[in-house]
Amino acid sequence: MNPMEQVEIAKATINIGVGEAGEKLSRAEKLLTNITNQKPIRTYSKVTNPEFGIRRGQPIACKVTLRDEKAFDAVKLVLDGIGNNLKSSQFDQQGNVSFGIEEHIEIPGMRYDPDIGIFGMNVSITFEKPGHRIKRRKIQQKKIPLKHQVNSEETIEFMQEKFQVKIK
Report pLDDT digits (tens) over 32-70: 998 889 999 999 988 888 887 788 888 999 999 999 999
pLDDT (tens digit per residue) in 106-116: 888 888 888 88
pTM value?
A: 0.88
- What CATH code is carried by the domain that includes residue 9? 3.30.1440.10
Residue 152 has pLDDT above 80, yes or no: yes
* Helix 68-81 with 23-36: angle, nearest 10 deg: 110
Higher per-residue confidence, 19 vs 41: 41
Q: What is the number of structural domains in the chain?
A: 1
* Residue range of the domain that includes 15: 3-167
Q: How many CA atoms lie within 13 A of 112 on its CB side?
A: 4
